[in-house]
Amino acid sequence: MTLETADLASKVATEQEYPFLPASTQTPSKVQKAIAVMTSGGDAPGMNSNVRAIVRTAIWKGCRAYVVMEGYEGLVKGGPEYIKEFGWEDVRGWNSDGGTNIGTARCMEFKERWGRLLGAQHLIEAGVDALIVCGGDGSLTGADLFRGEWPSLIKELFENKRISEDQYTKYKHLNICGTVGSIDNDMSTTDATIGAYSSLDRICKAIDYIEATAYSHSRAFVVEVMGRNCGWLALMAGIATSADYILIPEKPSSSKDWRDQMCDIVSKHRSKGKRTTVVIVAEGAIAADLTPITPDDVHKVLVDKLQLDTRTTILGHVQRGGTAVAFDRILATLQGVEAVNAVLDSTKDTPSPLIAINENKITRKPLIESVKLTKSVAAAIQAKDFKKAMDLRDTEFVEHLHNYMAINSADHNPNKLPKEKTLNIAIINVGAPAGGMNSAVYSMATYCMSQGHKPFAVYNGFTGLARHESVKPLNWFDMIGWQSRGGSEIGTNRHTPEEAGLDQIASYFTKHKFDGLIIVGGFEAFVSLNQLEAHRQEYPAFRIPMVLIPATLSNNVPGTEYSLGSDTALNALMEYCDVVKQSASSTRNRAFVVEVQGGNSGYLATNAALACGAQISYVPEEGISLEQLEQDIETLKESFEKAGGRDRFGKLIMKSINASKVWDAETLATVMTAEANGVFDTKSAIPGHVQQGGLPSPIDRTRGTRLAVRAVKFIENHSDLMKPTRQAVDIDASYNPKDDKLSETATVLGIKGSHLAFTPIRELYENESDLAKRMPKFIHWASTRAIADHLVGRKRISETK
C-alpha cells in the first residue's frame, strides 16, 4: 500500500527530546492550526488507528491536536469534557484496540440548526479550526453540511454576541475532511472503508467453523451478515468461503424466483457429492419486488423444498467486535496521515475531501460527490432499478459479483463458449507456500469450467512435471474446500524450468496440448516465466499466453505492489506481535526484538511495524548501522524513562532476518540490554514459519479469485495471437522474438498504484529487477517507512546528516 500524496519530510531538523518532533518553525505571524478528530456513526475496527495517526501527524506537523468525544453529541455538549486537547502519549497503544476509544453516539440534536450552532460555538471556544470526521455516509453528510453552513453559523453567533469579534475574524473558515469508517464498505469512490475487512475476517472465520460442523452432519446453514443497503460483506464472504448462494440487495434474482434459483444451485451442488450447504444473507436482502428476505425465509425453503437439515446463524455485532486486521490498521493509519495533509492543504474554496483508497493508492475524492453517489445506490434499489444500482457500485464490486456467479456455476451449467473456443489451461505453483495459492487454483479451475475450458494442475512445480509428468485435470468435487485452505494443495517447490529440464517440460506441454499457463508464486516463479519466454524460439510449446500471479509473503516480485500471501503473513505476524507486546507491557521496562521473514525485502517488517506501532524496524534495504543502533538505544532509554512505569508501555523492535549478517535477533537483544545500563531489558522473539500463516486471509482469498479470473481472461484474449506461431509449417520462421506483441503474452499480473496491470516479463526482468538481491529496483513502500518512524517519534540518523 503506497501513500503517494503524503508530504512528510524525510530531511528535517528535529528536537533532541523524545518523541523526536520537528524543531519549531512557527513565527509570530504564522498561527498554529488546531485540528480535531471525531468518530461518528457505527463503530468500526481501525477507528482507533485512524485517530492515533491523525493526532500524532497533527503534532508532528506543528499543530495542536484535539479529539471530540462521543461524536456529534460531544460537539453539541461542548466543554473540556467533550473537546479535549490530546498529546503524543494519549494515543499510545491504540492500534490494537477495537471499537473507538473516543466514543461515538447518534445525535438527533445535530440534525437541527440549533444543534449545529452549538457545535460551531463549542469548536470556536476550544480554538479548533479544522475537523476530521471518521464515519459513514450519514456522518460525512452532516460534516459537509456543517462546513457549508459555517459562515452563516458564525455570523449568527457573532450577532448574538456568543463569540467575540476576534473569534469571528479568526474562525471564519472551517476545513472539513472525511475518512470512512464503516464495516459495510458502502461508500462509493473507495475500494475499502476502515473496518470492512476486519468484519469480513470475522464472518469468514465463523463460516469456516460452521463448515466443519455442517460437514459432520451433512447440514445446510443460513448465515445472516450485516449490510443494509450494500451486499459487499455477503458477496466477499461468498467468494472467500465458496458459499452455495448469496442474497444481496443490489442483485435480486432476475431470471427466476430466488427460491427456485437457490434450490436449483444447491441441488446441483448436492448431486455432485457436496455434503455441506451455506447460504449467506445480507440483512438488507430483498426480492425483485422489494420484499425483504429473512434468514427464516431461506431456512423454510431449504427445509420444505429440499428436505435439508438446516440451521440458522445470525452473526450480529460479532462482526463489529475485536481488534482490527492488519489491512485496516494500515489503511486507517495512512488515511489519517493523508487527512491531516489534506486539511493543511485546504483553503476556503477547496471542496471538502474524502480520503479513499483505489487498488493500492491512497487518494482524495470530493466528499459530497462520494456521499451523493452512495445515497444514489439506495435510491435506485428502492426504485427497483437494480441495473442502475449495480452501475453505481464501483467496478471492483461488479467484477467480484460476476466472478462469484461464474465460479459458483462451475461445471453445473452449459458451457458459455463454443467448443472451438475452448482451451486447455494449466496452473502451477512455484516457490514457497503462500496464503491464497489454493484460492487462485480453485478460482482458475471453476472459472474455466464455467466457460468450457479444461483446467489442468501441474503438481509439485516444474520438477514434478519433468520427473513424473504430474499433470492432472482438475474437477470440481476434488476441490471442495480449497478456497479457504492454507498452503498449496497441488504442491510447490522452488526449482525453475532450466533446473528441472526444459526438454521434458516442453514435451509435456505439447503432449497435453496446453493453450495457456498460469504460474502462481514468488521470485522463483518470476524467473521461471522469464525462462519460458526466453526459450520460445527453441520450444514452440512455450508459445502460449502465460501469466504470473505473484504469491509470496516477501512481496518482492517486480511488477506489483501486492502479492498473494503477504496479507495472510502480515496478519499472522501482527497477532504474534500483539501477544508479545502485551507480555512486554506486563513487565516493567521490557522490549522485544521480533525477527521477521521476507528475504531481502523489508516489506513485511515495515508494514508490521506500522500495524503494531513498533518503535524501531530494521530492514535489508537500509541495514543496521552502529550510529543508528546507538541512537535507537538512546531513544528507547528516553521513552522508558519518560514513561515512569505507566502501563501499556512495552516496546517492539522489528528486524528483517536479512537486515544484517552480523546482528541476529538474539545478539541484538543482548547488546541493547547491555547498552541500556539497566533502564530497560530486551528479549528476542522469533515467530519463524508462523508468519506463513494458517488459513488465508479474506483479502488473499478474494484477490486470489480476482487475479485468477483476470489471468484466464488474458489467456482467452491472446490465444488466437499465439496459435499460428505453434501451428505453422515452418515453426522456426513463424516466431519472431523481437515482436513486442508476441513477447507481451508472457506477463506479470499485478497491482500498480490505483490499477491492476499486465506488464511483460521481459520488460520487468531487464529493466526493473535487481536479480542478485531478488528484488524490484523500485521500493514502492519506501514512504511507508518514513510514516512508521514519524508516528513513533523515531530519530533517523540519515535524516540529519
Is 463 known as a binding-site position?
no
Is 739 known as a binding-site position?
no
Cell digits for 771?
A: 536479480
Set 43, 97, 129, 184: catalytic member: 184
Is 137 known as a binding-site position?
yes
**Residue among 176, 99, 563, 561 at smallest CA distance from 332:** 99
Is 683 known as a binding-site position?
yes
Largest pairwise CA distance in the chain: 93
Which of 177-181, 438-442, 635-639 is the least confident region? 635-639
Mean pLDDT across the chain: 92
Degrees, nearest 5: CA angle 72-612-321: 50
What value does the mean pLDDT take over residues 529-552? 96
Q: How many other CB atoms are found less than 10 A from the CB of residue 516? A: 24
- Please give the pLDDT value at position 553: 95
Does residue 103 register a pLDDT over 50? Answer: yes
Instruction: Give the whole-angstrom CA distance, residue 324 versus residue 317.
Output: 14
Instruction: Give the whole-angstrom CA distance, residue 589 versus residue 86.
Output: 24
Is 320 known as a binding-site position?
yes
Domains in the chain and their CATH numbers?
34-193+324-377 (3.40.50.450), 197-319 (3.40.50.460), 410-564+696-770 (3.40.50.450), 566-694+784-800 (3.40.50.460)
> Phi-psi category of 88—alpha, beta or left, where left has phi over 0 and alpha has psi -120 to 50?
alpha
Residue 117 parent element (H or E)? helix 113-126
What value does the mean pLDDT take over residues 127-143? 93
What value does the mean pLDDT take over residues 614-638? 94
Is 147 known as a binding-site position?
no
pLDDT (tens digit per residue) in 37-80: 999 999 999 999 999 999 999 999 999 999 999 999 999 999 99
Does residue 260 register a pLDDT over 60? Answer: yes
- Please give the pLDDT value at position 407: 93
Which residues are paired to 38 by β-bridges?
A: 68, 133
Instruction: Give the whole-angstrom CA distance, residue 606 versus residue 468.
Output: 41
Is 553 known as a binding-site position?
yes
pLDDT (tens digit per residue) in 715-761: 999 999 888 887 765 666 678 888 899 999 999 999 998 899 999 99
pLDDT band at 693 (very low <50, low <70, confident <90, very high): confident
- Please give the pLDDT value at position 499: 97
Does residue 4 register a pLDDT over 80? Answer: no
- Please give the pLDDT value at position 12: 55
pLDDT band at 29 (very low <50, low <70, confident <90, very high): very low
Is 118 known as a binding-site position?
no
Is residue 732 annotated as a catalytic residue, yes or no? no
pLDDT band at 394 (very low <50, low <70, confident <90, very high): confident
DSSP-assigned letters across all residues of 429-466: EESS--TTHHHHHHHHHHHHHHHT-EEEEETTHHHHHH
**Local structure of 377: helix, strand or coil:** helix
Cell 428476505 found at: 293
What value does the mean pLDDT take over residues 492-515? 96
pLDDT (tens digit per residue) in 339-365: 999 999 988 888 999 999 998 899 999
Is 425 known as a binding-site position?
no
Could you tell me which residues come within 8 angstroms of residue 417 by beta carbon, excluding any fewer than 6 positions away? 451, 452, 453
